[in-house]
Amino acid sequence: MSGLTVAADLGRACALGVECARDLSRHAARFPGLFPARPFDPGFFHSLGLVGAFGSPWARAEELRAVNRAALWVFAVDLLIDHVATSRAEVAALTGDCVAVAAGGKEPDSPLTRFLAELRDDAGGDPRWCDQLERMLTAMEREWQWGASGAVLKLDEYLANADSCGSSFVNLSHWLSTGDPATPAGLDRVREAGDEVQRYLRLLNDLTTYDRESRWGDANALTLGAERDEVIERMARHSRAAAELIEPLRESSPRAALYLERQLGFNTGFYGITDYWGEM
């Protein structure tokens, strides 16, 4: 592949990212108060658009709405839990409302749950989607409790709660919407690989955003007791494990395999320079 071809492919991916960012910004404007300008600055929307585009550069912007909007919603609920809720009861009420709306047992009555109801409808109410949402919210609530109590954790215990970062929820939203034809039949294997990628990304985020998360008071592997060298070693282990799980998917679910591989690569490069969040 020539340098010109590589540059053209990168240019297309960047242009796709810009289209995705514009769609995300327009969509966020539909939910007043949910996405304040700090920390949801223009750079945030462009960053989120780029990660979706680089994960699936062959797609059209409209095909990436599910993955992009799911990611956007995860950031919104994360902000509300970590920086708006002031008590465990508030966190429990928020997560309980979301689970009830996702299951169709409650009408949405807030910007957050109205946005969630749209995502639910796009996913067709798939029970796997609802289950992954509940796992993510439960993990976020547990993480809030750790931060509030000043807990000190072993890294294995922390990583068992990796659903809190939302990567697997976003991935599943994507695959249920636009996976390649083979992906639905082999979704269990694809999700297993995605969960391993999630563990790597959880630690990558913690390692590279430690200063910002310390200022914000966010739970982080390092703030909860892990050593930096331990985190780096575990990242390498999870990267290798993810690669081993992705490899057989190249035949059965080629686009899902590429998507996961590109998520690993893009975020490793991205976090080497910046962060998704803007300033609070």
Give the pLDDT confidence of 111-131 residue by residue, as tens digits.
Answer: 999 999 999 999 998 999 999
| pTM given for the model | 0.97
pLDDT of residue 98 exceeding 70, the answer is yes
Q: Return the number of other C-beta atoms located less than 10 Å from residue 76's C-beta.
A: 19
Q: Which domains does the chain have, with CATH numbers?
A: 11-51+64-271 (1.10.600.10)
Give the DSSP letter of residue 103: T
pLDDT of residue 186 exceeding 80, the answer is yes
Please compute the mean of the pLDDT values over residues 23-48 and round it to a whole number.
98
pLDDT digits (tens, 9 = 90+) for 211-263: 999 999 999 999 999 999 999 999 999 999 999 999 999 999 999 999 999 99
Residue 91, judged by CB atoms within 10 A of its CB (0-12, 13-18, 19+), counts as buried
Paired tokens of 79: 């902000």
Q: Give me Rg for the CA atoms of the chain.
A: 18
Distance CA 201, CA 199 (A): 5
